[in-house]
């Protein structure tokens, strides 16, 4: 009897344990397998030194580790750097590097490697677009084998956040030496995956870095990026199982993904915004009244419901609600065509104005442009849409060969990345101030916000700068768009951040 009782007890305990085990806790990680990720476009270069493309950024996280990382709560945390220190005046940073980290070619990550990487960006002969963000870096010194000291000319608040991206990646100095220019096709980093091959306009393949410094990670054996420019094709490939993860889901397809039992949609508020740049250096938008008329004539709520199918929100300025610097008191433009018409009258243009609106030749952008076109026409702003490819669009922005140009900004973790490069006078040359906008007060505020680290004071400065920018209206802010990615439900451990181009591949695993 006692024996029977004890057997029963054991059986009951076992059952409870099993059921409890099934019901609680995260499912155990399964290792191995290949993840295929469909991107909108091919990489331009696998050497971040000369990169400006968003697709490049998505791929870099597989092969390179940054000095600092953004965690799930959007804090900047040390990564290849183990500890860091900044002098009281905010001008000297000391980085202690993690020990035992090796590049894929077997060489060590050390202070010398970091210095070589920084100097490579800073060397004017290399013409790196990353240099603009590092303008305040004066010198980089090796203190000992794993300690680097960086001296800045003035305090630069966004410095660490900039090192979470292209500026903070470290490529093997031995590979720089060996490959030279061909580094763009032979990336060698310390990241979770090791480069295998790049078939232009088709795929880029990586395999697991068995010697990754985070023991046990990554979980996947292979990571493949496929180039699939068409939204519909990308989604179809996901639905038929040819790929496991799809970038940039068109908002119109969100319902379709949600309806599928095998797919999951990842929707995250972004740091970015949709906008229309107005060229303030030539008519008709050299007139502030005309620009303000444009801003009043856009029905942002209709854009949100029709183009974005109710996702995202109406934009008020360059700092979206997701950011700590968001200013809820910012007076924004609402939809008021009468007011727009009155402003045109005031500008001495009762008959309205005609201009060309350059638009990237992709479905969502065409939809956005056609909606705006009809909305502003009611106020007397006659836009003719010009569909162009992304290369032409960017080229015309650079040379100033445009009147109005529709685009978006993917956003950065520090508000400086959404402000300085677009609105500071110095960013007309070498930045993305394609509007040729210049306002001395905005310059002063943005400069000051870079120099101090006090978050509340910076928030106040950005709020003030935004008021000037919104009033001057060199850029029409239309929507805060969500980051939308779709994945097979097999994909586990995927974290989508407000920055659409940053994914931590090391944590992803596939359920079998």
Partner 1 sequence: METTVHLAERVARYPRRAARASWLIRFLRRNPVVLAAAGALAVITAAGILAPHLAPHDPAAQDYSALLTSPGQRHLFGTDHLGRDLLSRMLFGIRVSLVAGLASVLIAAAVGLTVGAVAGFWMGWWDTATMRVVDALQAFPILVLATALNAVLGPGLGNTIMAVGVVYAPSFARLTRGQVLSLRHREFVEAARALGMAEGRVLVRHVLPNILGPLIVFASVSMATAIQIEASLSFLGLGVQPPTPSLGAMLREGYPYLESASWWPLLTGTLLAGLILCLNFFADGLRDLLDPRLQGRR
Where does this chain bind partner 1 (CB under 8 A)?
231-232, 250, 252-253, 255-256, 302, 305-306, 361, 363, 366-367, 369-371, 373-374, 384-388
Give min distance, CB of 133 to partner 1, in A.
34
- Residue with smaller CB distance to partner 1, 18 or 361: 361
- Residue with smaller CB distance to partner 1, 174 or 390: 390
8 A C-beta contact, residue 171 and residue 66: no
Count of Cβ atoms closer than 10 Å to residue 356 Cβ: 13
- Residue with smaller CB distance to partner 1, 312 or 317: 312
- Residue with smaller CB distance to partner 1, 241 or 363: 363
Residues 6+ apart with CB under 8 A from 148: 94, 95, 97, 111, 114, 115, 118, 140, 141, 142
Q: Convert 440-472 to b/e letters by CB count within 10 Å (16 or more is b).
A: eebbebbeebbbeeeeeebbebbbbbbbebbeb
> What is the rounded distance in angstroms from the CA atom of residue 190 to the CA atom of residue 36?
21
- Residue with smaller CB distance to partner 1, 20 or 395: 395
Give min distance, CB of 382 to partner 1, in A.
12
Give min distance, CB of 94 to partner 1, in A.
52
Give min distance, CB of 21 to partner 1, in A.
41
- Residue with smaller CB distance to partner 1, 148 or 307: 307
Token look-up 């004071």 returns 457
- Residue with smaller CB distance to partner 1, 232 or 338: 232
Question: Hey, what are 34's tokens?
Answer: 């290949």
- Residue with smaller CB distance to partner 1, 280 or 359: 359
- Residue with smaller CB distance to partner 1, 131 or 360: 360
Per-residue DSSP letters for 157-218?
TTHHHHTTTGGGB---HHHHHHHGGGGGGS---SSSEEEEEEETTTEEEEEE-TT-SSTT--
Give min distance, CB of 379 to partner 1, in A.
15
Give min distance, CB of 251 to partner 1, in A.
11
- Residue with smaller CB distance to partner 1, 101 or 362: 362
Give min distance, CB of 96 to partner 1, in A.
51
8 A C-beta contact, residue 175 and residue 116: no
194: left (phi over 0), alpha (psi -120 to 50) or beta: beta
Give min distance, CB of 362 to partner 1, in A.
9
Give min distance, CB of 386 to partner 1, in A.
6
Q: Tell me if residue 37 falls in helix, strand or coil.
A: strand
Give min distance, CB of 374 to partner 1, in A.
5
- Residue with smaller CB distance to partner 1, 40 or 256: 256
Give min distance, CB of 172 to partner 1, in A.
40
Per-residue DSSP letters for 281-321?
TSTTTTSHHHHHHHHHH--HHHHHHHTSTT-SEE--SSS-T
> What is the rounded distance in angstroms from the CA atom of residue 289 to the CA atom of residue 47?
44
> What is the rounded distance in angstroms from the CA atom of residue 490 to the CA atom of residue 503?
17
> What is the rounded distance in angstroms from the CA atom of residue 355 to the CA atom of residue 381?
8
Q: What is the dihedral of CA 242, 248, 253, 255, to 10 degrees?
A: 100
- Residue with smaller CB distance to partner 1, 43 or 243: 243
Token look-up 């029905």 returns 299
Give min distance, CB of 486 to partner 1, in A.
14
Measured between its terminal Cα atoms, the distance across the chain in Å is: 44
Question: Hey, what are 462's tokens?
Answer: 């950005």
Question: Hey, what are 139's tokens?
Answer: 């010198």
Give min distance, CB of 380 to partner 1, in A.
17
Helix (H) / strand (E) containing 10: helix 2-23
> What is the rounded distance in angstroms from the CA atom of residue 357 to the CA atom of residue 393?
11
> What is the rounded distance in angstroms from the CA atom of residue 117 to the CA atom of residue 445?
31
- Residue with smaller CB distance to partner 1, 396 or 425: 396
């Amino acid at each position: 009897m006692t024996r029977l009782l004890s057997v029963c007890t054991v059986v009951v305990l076992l059952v409870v344990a099993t059921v409890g085990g099934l019901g609680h806790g995260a499912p155990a990680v399964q290792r191995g397998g290949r993840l295929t990720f469909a991107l909108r476009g091919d990489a331009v270069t696998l050497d971040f030194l000369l990169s400006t493309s968003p697709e490049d950024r998505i791929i870099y996280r597989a092969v390179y580790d940054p000095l600092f990382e953004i965690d799930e709560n959007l804090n900047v945390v040390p990564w290849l750097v183990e500890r860091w220190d900044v002098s009281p005046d905010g001008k000297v940073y000391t980085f202690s590097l993690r020990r035992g980290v090796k590049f894929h070619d077997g060489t060590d990550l050390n202070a010398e490697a970091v210095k070589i990487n920084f100097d490579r960006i800073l060397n004017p002969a290399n013409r790196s677009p990353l240099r603009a963000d590092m303008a305040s870096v004066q010198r980089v010194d090796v203190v000992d084998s794993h300690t680097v000291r960086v001296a800045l000319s003035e305090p630069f608040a966004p410095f660490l956040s900039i090192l979470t991206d292209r500026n903070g990646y470290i490529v093997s100095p031995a590979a720089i030496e060996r490959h030279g220019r061909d580094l763009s096709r032979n990336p060698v980093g310390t990241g979770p995956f090791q480069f295998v091959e790049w078939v232009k306009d088709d795929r880029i393949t990586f395999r697991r870095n068995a010697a990754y410094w985070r023991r046990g990670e990554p979980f996947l054996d292979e990571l493949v990026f496929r180039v699939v420019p068409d939204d519909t094709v990308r989604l179809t490939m996901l639905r038929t199982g040819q790929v496991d993860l799809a970038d940039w889901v068109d908002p119109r397809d969100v319902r379709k993904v949600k309806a599928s039992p095998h797919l999951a949609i990842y929707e995250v508020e972004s740091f970015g915004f949709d906008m229309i740049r107005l060229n303030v250096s030539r008519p008709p938008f050299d007139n502030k009244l005309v620009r303000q008329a444009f801003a009043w004539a856009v029905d942002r709520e209709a854009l949100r419901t029709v183009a974005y199918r109710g996702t995202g929100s109406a934009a008020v300025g360059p700092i979206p609600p997701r950011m700590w610097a968001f200013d809820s008191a910012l007076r924004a433009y609402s939809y008021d065509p009468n007011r727009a018409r009155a402003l045109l009258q005031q500008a001495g243009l009762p008959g309205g104005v005609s201009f060309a609106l350059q638009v990237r030749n992709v479905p969502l952008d065409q939809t956005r442009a056609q909606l705006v076109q009809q909305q502003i026409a009611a106020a007397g702003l006659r836009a003719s849409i010009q569909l162009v490819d992304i290369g032409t669009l960017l080229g015309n922005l650079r040379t100033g060969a445009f009147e109005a140009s529709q685009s978006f900004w993917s956003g950065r973790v520090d508000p400086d990345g959404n402000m300085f490069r677009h609105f500071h006078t110095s960013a007309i040359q070498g930045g993305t101030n394609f509007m040729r906008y210049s306002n001395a007060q905005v310059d002063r505020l943005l400069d000051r916000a870079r120099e101090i680290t006090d978050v509340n004071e910076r928030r106040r400065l950005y709020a003030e700068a935004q008021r000037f920018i919104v009033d001057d209206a060199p850029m029409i802010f239309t929507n805060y768009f969500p980051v939308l990615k779709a994945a097979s439900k097999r994909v586990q451990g995927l974290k989508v951040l407000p920055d659409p181009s940053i994914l931590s591949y090391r944590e992803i695993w596939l359920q079998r």
